[in-house]
Amino acid sequence: MQKIRHDFNLGSTIQRIRKSKNLTQDKVIAKMNLLQVPISKSSYAKIETNRLNIKICELVALKIIFDVSYEDFFKEFTDEIPIPPEFYGKMPKSK
């Protein structure tokens, strides 16, 4: 059974993915700006250190830049709270 962890650290996951793609923060920021998602170096650094919550548009941009799935950002999220098997398949599918 999968579990959900309450203290999920998305910033460190973003940092880990960025480093695995051999990208610097400056390169990521430049690519985000090219995608019309303006962000400062300070704000991006705060996201990676969990001092600033990420906006949805920023997460979408990072998905494109890193060429990963949304699941890649959240796969470490399952850990502590049981999710009953009957829950799976109950969520509406997006079109």
Domains assigned to the chain: 3-87 (1.10.260.40)
Q: How buried is 24 (Cβ within 10 angstroms: 0-12 exposed, 13-18 middle, 19+ buried)?
A: exposed
DSSP structure class, residue 8 = -
Residue showing tokens 């920021």 = 29
Give the pLDDT confidence score for residue 75 in this predicted structure.
78
CA distance 37 to 31: 9
Give the pLDDT confidence score for residue 21 in this predicted structure.
97
pLDDT over 60 at 72, yes or no: yes
